[in-house]
Structure 1
Amino acid sequence: MAKVYATGRRKTSISKVWLEVGTGELTINGQSLDAWLGGHEAIKKRVMQPLEVTKQETSVNIVVKTLGGGYSAQADAVRHGISRALVAYDEHFRAVLKPYGLLTRDARSVERKKYGRRKARKSGQFSKR
């Protein structure tokens, strides 16, 4: 089977995911998962969740290119991209991934700053006189 491509997004991060039959290698921005994320075990677990749920940890090779945002948002974008790539690879995975919410794009993003405010919602201290 040829390579399968999918895109994952979260906040301002975008991940481009290529999935093919292989031995379970995961390369993110030219690095292994451990080199890319360092000691963030909980975030590594979040990235690997779609593969663990579908039991594909050792049967597919994944190459990811990610950009924008911070490492946590990038990790969630990678998770979304891997989930979508697995569904494109085999449609039966949709029924497995859907209950975990892995196919839903997390639409939360930073609210824009409003004029007259210090931040999006924070205002200056009220003065009665």
Structure 2
Amino acid sequence: MQGSGQLIVNNKNYKQYFPFALWQEVVTEPLPLVGLDKDIDISVKVSGGGLPAQAEAIRLALARALLVHNADWRPVLRKMGYLTRDPREKERKKPGLKRARRAPQWQKR
């Protein structure tokens, strides 16, 4: 693999797309682990959720793509938790409540 180390997210440089350094770091975490942070060009399309969730989704996708390239990296990526999806989802709204757990205001008298 040969490239200049560019990371494009939705046709923008990842540093423009993710304004905070923390999110930029989350996106690129798997690459230095396997020594490819300056060697490959990556283009990603992402939608839905917020920017932090998109950053974590890109990190998971990159880790899985790296495994397709070289399966020997699995133990390293697994140990750091980059191959694990965040299982949390929005709780459903229940009947009789305003939201998932928010009950209507109660008045004693």
TM-score computed with the length of structure 1 as normaliser: 0.78
Deviation string 1:30-83 (CA, Å, 9 cap, x unpaired) is 111111112x11111111111122221011211101111111111111111001
Which of 109, 115, 118 is the aligned partner of 2:89?
A: 109
Would you say how many aligned residue pairs link Structure 1 and Structure 2?
Answer: 109
- The structure with the larger Rg is 2
Identity over aligned pairs, percent: 37
Say which structure is richer in helix. Answer: 2
Distance 1:114 1:21, change over 3 A: farther
RMSD of aligned alpha carbons: 1.5
Correspondence 1:36 to 2:17: yes
Q: Which runs of 4+ in 1 moved over 3 A?
A: 125-129
Say which structure is richer in strand. Answer: 1
Which of 23, 45, 56 is the aligned partner of 2:36?
A: 56
Q: Identify unmatched segments of 5+ residues in structure 1.
A: 1-19
Higher relative contact order (CA 8 A, sep 6+): 1
TM-score computed with the length of structure 2 as normaliser: 0.91
Q: Identify unmatched segments of 5+ residues in structure 2.
A: none
- Report the equivalent of 2:7: 26
